[in-house]
A = this chain, B = another copy of it.
Amino acid sequence: MPAFSFRLIATDGAARCGEIVTPHGAVATPAFMPVGTQATVKGLLPEAVRATGADILLGNTYHLMLRPGAERVAALGGLHKFMNWPHAILTDSGGFQVMSLAGLRKIEEKAVTFRSHLDGALVELSPERAIEIQGLFGADIAMQLDECVKLPAPHAELERAMQLSLRWAERSKRAFEGAAPGRALFGIVQGGDDPKLRLASARALVDMGFDGYAIGGLAVGETPEVMRATIEDVAPALPAERPRYLMGVGTPADLLQAVARGVDMFDCVLPTRNGRHGLAFTRRGPVALKNARHADDQRPLDPESSCPAARDYSRAYLHHLIKAGEMLGAVLLTMVNLAYYQELMAAARSAVAAGQFEDFRRKTCALWEQGDLPPR
């Protein structure tokens, strides 16, 4: 199994395209990672996820440590085997969901203690345990435990959480030393909307030295301008020869904005969650399939899509499935959306390689703004 590596293939302004190699295959960047929270991308067979073009999935440590449990997954051969996904997997550290889902959180220097949202059990998650769990899963890319603060927040709070995250980064790195060869560990830049804190965080992490660097603590309440400015501040402070991962972001427009500023990796629940709720992402912008205007529309969502779900079913049928609450509606629109995100990333890679990223971004946005096909 090849060891983790990253190779920059081309740049265009700040935008980059490259290739990550992991023990479970290569990942073309910029890359979008579908979210497989509970060891499944909701509703899709793993081969269907792969068919959308995904090279890598994200798994959620918080959910998986509580059910089915990290030691159990390890005994069953690891997360790849458990969920029948032979390609790359990145797992988060669990920190973000402890903050957003668990009850009775207590953050201390040593660890975060919380009550499971499933059965109320008291659970402790330390930086060392987060690394251990991700090792039990066999994640190709593990993330340090960090503390993510919702915005807006007082400066002192942002600084405290950023400093704690740095100390946890060091402990995570030490804990990772015994990890199986070839696996990677990413540090996470925190500091909220404060550029000085962000830079201090980035520099300290780079001094420690990680296989890749994530920008955390965004898409947590700030404006799009703050998100863009923060990426613009942080990305240049990160080493060019390491991948950069913007956590939990975002819309198709967010992705292109971030690629333009040098980001290589993304994950987000938007394409899957919105798909389940009847919203499709397309070349012509979002399409709400619940809308009655689709009820008699024989046309597919997008005949030029790479995805059979966008080509082989009428809007009328998708509308019917969503209105009737049928699982197949969620399944088809999840496919459509994941395929669209992957197409967007593939097109971004080609545009960077051709030195035409800004032109591509402008044309793509223009088509989104033009909007969906007029009703027939």
Top 3 A-B pairs ranked by shortest CB distance?
A43-B327, A40-B328, A68-B320
Complex interface: stretch among A10-18, A135-143, A218-226, A309-317: A309-317
Complex interface: stretch among A76-84, A247-255, A277-285: A76-84
Whether B331 and A43, one on each chain, are in contact in the complex, defined by CB atoms closer than 8 angstroms, is: yes
Interchain CA distance A109-B233 in the complex, whole Å? 79
Size category of the binding interface on chain A? 20 to 34
Of all chain B residues, which has the CB nearest A323? Answer: B67
With A82-B316, A83-B317, A298-B77 known to touch, is A328 a contact of B44 (CB < 8 Å)?
A: yes
A67 to chain B: which residues have CB within 8 Å?
A: 320, 323-324
Of all chain B residues, which has the CB nearest A327? Answer: B43
Interchain CA distance A117-B184 in the complex, whole Å? 55
Whether A295 and B327, one on each chain, are in contact in the complex, defined by CB atoms closer than 8 angstroms, is: no
Asked if A39 is an interface residue, CB under 8 A from chain B, the answer is: yes
Whether A42 and B327, one on each chain, are in contact in the complex, defined by CB atoms closer than 8 angstroms, is: yes
Interchain CA distance A296-B75 in the complex, whole Å? 8
Interchain CA distance A298-B73 in the complex, whole Å? 10
Asked if A330 is an interface residue, CB under 8 A from chain B, the answer is: yes
Whether B43 and A316, one on each chain, are in contact in the complex, defined by CB atoms closer than 8 angstroms, is: no
A80 to chain B, nearest CB (A): 12
Interchain CA distance A110-B14 in the complex, whole Å? 75
A295 to chain B: which residues have CB within 8 Å?
A: 68, 72
Of all chain B residues, which has the CB nearest A68? Answer: B320
Contact code string A335-365 (vs B, CB < 8 Å = 1, else 0): 0000000000000000000000000000000
Asked if A321 is an interface residue, CB under 8 A from chain B, the answer is: yes
Asked if A45 is an interface residue, CB under 8 A from chain B, the answer is: yes
Contact code string A57-72 (vs B, CB < 8 Å = 1, else 0): 0000000000110001
